[in-house]
Amino acid sequence: MNLDLAFSIPRPSRCDFGIGAIGAGFIMRDVQLPAYARAGFHVAGITSRTPETARQAAALRGIPKVFDSVGEMLRDPDIQILDIAVPPDRQLDIVRQAVREGRHLQGILAQKPLAVNYPDAVETVRLCRERGLLLAVNQNMRFDQSIRALKTLLTRGDLGEPVLATIEMRAVPHWQQWLQNYSRLTLLNMSIHHIDSFRYLFGEPDSIYVSARPDPRTRFPHQDGICLYTMEYSSGLRATAWDDVWVGPQNDRDNLNPYIKWRVTGTSGLAEGTLGWPSYPNHAPSTLTFTTASEPGVWATPRWREAWFPDAFPGPMADLMEAIASGTQPSLSGADNLGTMAIVEAGYRSLQEHRPVAIAEIYS
């Protein structure tokens, strides 16, 4: 059985680009910046809407420059890549400013979701394309070790033709305060990881059907709390997920065993695994177990030390750096991410109209 699963993140041929971090919240301060330091990436400066927050993050993570504004950062020739980690309704304005003022920029890594809605995502991609500025989107679940290993199995044909793919999530995300400004919750901010991973693994679906109900724990208005959805492929493949952000009535003595499990069955094999994110900040590597018809009765259970949180986080930045160095497009390009955003948009239309929605409707 071939256990060379190519799950590691390729190191870029150049990683000396100066990174300017925009935003100093939890994900940037406590996950991305430490992961970048371990990867040997150079974060040259940071800015935040609250300057004191940026100064605290810089002191904690050893970042040499703190900028009082995005404009000041864009004027600095040491900043070649912007790493934007702000709420999605603010990203388009920052990209507009970067395109207009960032004479030294070579690339932008935008946080997911790229925008609150599909039209704003299209406009973000258009601006960068017309400026000739590489745009990547931080869909870092693609760099989770079990997802990359699964991709290898599928690409090699070890599982045969995919028949059914499932993700079952029973975990409570931390809903940031800014999410109260939208009616869009789980599909846009959590399920988008799973939707994008399905695209990475299997390509473009024909349609999506979504059923959802509000999350009893989430007190602000929202249309999609607990989300169940199925993506249909012309091959017959069905990719479906249960994103349960409720789990049950948690209390300070029982977190009700949160987990994320995935499973893919094919005509000649089966693979299943877990994602370690719900255990964070405890270090919990994702897992994989698989079997193939060519070796019946044999189950492989490769294991590794790396975990999605935080070890997958250098992946999107490394992908962008290599694209800049080689003059190519990143695999997580903004143009590619429009496919993910279109599925999310179709999902909300499905939820509102109680029907399967063809993804082509969003593009028309």
Residues 305 and 208 in one domain: yes
Residues 149 and 96 in one domain: no
| CATH number of the domain to which 190 belongs | 3.30.360.10
CA distance 127 to 111: 16
- Residue 46 pLDDT: 98
Number of H helices, E strands in the chain: 13, 14
Residues 352 and 292 in one domain: yes
Domain boundary among 140, 167, 184: 140
Give the total number of structural domains in the chain. 2
Selection from 203, 192, 193, 111 nearest residue 151 by Cα: 203
Reading the block at residue 152, the tokens are 């290898």
Domain boundary among 140, 171, 205: 140
Q: Assess if residue 353 is contained within a domain.
A: yes
Q: Assess if residue 85 is contained within a domain.
A: yes
CA distance 170 to 247: 5
- Residue 99 pLDDT: 98
- Residue 111 pLDDT: 96
Provide the domain limits for residue 56: 18-140
- Residue 250 pLDDT: 84
Selection from 42, 40, 41, 69 nearest residue 54 by Cα: 69
- Residue 1 pLDDT: 82
* Residue spans of the chain under pLDDT 50: none
Q: Assess if residue 11 is contained within a domain.
A: no
Q: Taking the model in full, what pTM does it have?
A: 0.96
Q: Assess if residue 8 is contained within a domain.
A: no
